Structures are given as structure tokens and as C-alpha cells.
Amino acid sequence: MNRTHKLTLMAMLIAIGIVGATFIWFPAGVARAYPVQHAVNVIAAVTLGPGPAIVIAFAIGLLRNLLGVGTILAFPGGMAGALLAGLAYRWRKKKSSAVIGEVIGTGIIGSLLAVPLAQFFLGQSAGVFFFIPAFLVSSASGAILAWIILSRIPKDKILS
């Protein structure tokens, strides 16, 4: 895949993540669940790898914050999930591994990373396990959505 094609695919995934966050969300405990963000993480991890997936997650988080449809908590969850999804897919070459990596990365690691951010930026003194249920629901719903999409489209069709 050449650089132009890769950058174009990254830009399209960022756009899908932003539009999806605007229209598709649901309350999940203390936070809002944005399943499209997590679906984009898994799709980016499978098609582009962990590095571009992290860049895409960061860009979506940044733009969501600038547009007022996200909080600072979008960064630890999205980026940790993208990293683990990409690494899991790289190691195992299975789409289900990327799904599991996203759920563990966002649902557990991202939620733990959110605690100090919530304390510092949002003034919330949340406990360690305060964010885990919401992050798990959000990441699992999006990861399953990505798995359904990816199982319908062969990888070579996505990249060509």
C-alpha cells in the first residue's frame, strides 16, 4: 500500500469515527459509549497496524474534544485499545485477537489510565474501578461491530 492510499484510508477512518461519535452513542454508566470509535480502532488495527491505529484514535479523540462531543477520557481508552488491538492482530493474525485486544486495551487499561486524567482535568476523584464497566460496554459493543464488518469483507478487499 502506498503512502497516499494509507493516508487516505486513515483520513476516512477518522471521518467515520467523528461522524459516528456525533450520531451513535448511548449512556453506559458514568460515561457515554461511542461504539464507532472502537469499531474504527479494530478496523484500523487490522488493516493498517498498531502505529496508524494509535494516530487515528488520537486524531478522533482530539477532534471530538475540539467539537465538543468528547471528553479527555477519549484519549486513554481509544489509544490503549488501538495499540492492543494492533499488537494482538500482529501477533496472532486473527481478527478475533484484535477484538479482544481492543476490549482489554480500552476496557481495562484505558479505564485505569482514565482515573488520574479524570482527577486532574475533570476534578472527579473516581475510584480505580469506577470507569471499567462503562469502558468495557463501550469497547465490547464497538469491537463486536468491527468484527461483524471485518468478517463480511476480506482483508485484501479493504486494502485494494
- Residue 147 · residue 99 · CB < 8 Å: yes
Over residues 112-124, the pLDDT tens digits come to 898 888 778 767 6
CA-CA distance, 47 to 71, in Å (whole number)?
Answer: 27
pLDDT band at 128 (very low <50, low <70, confident <90, very high): low
CA-CA distance, 54 to 76, in Å (whole number)?
Answer: 10
Average pLDDT over residues 133-145: 92
The pLDDT score that the predictor gives to residue 77 is: 86
| 3 state SS of 30 | coil
Give me the domains of the chain, ranges plus CATH numbers. 3-21+34-155 (1.10.1760.20)
Average pLDDT over residues 100-126: 85
The pLDDT score that the predictor gives to residue 156 is: 66
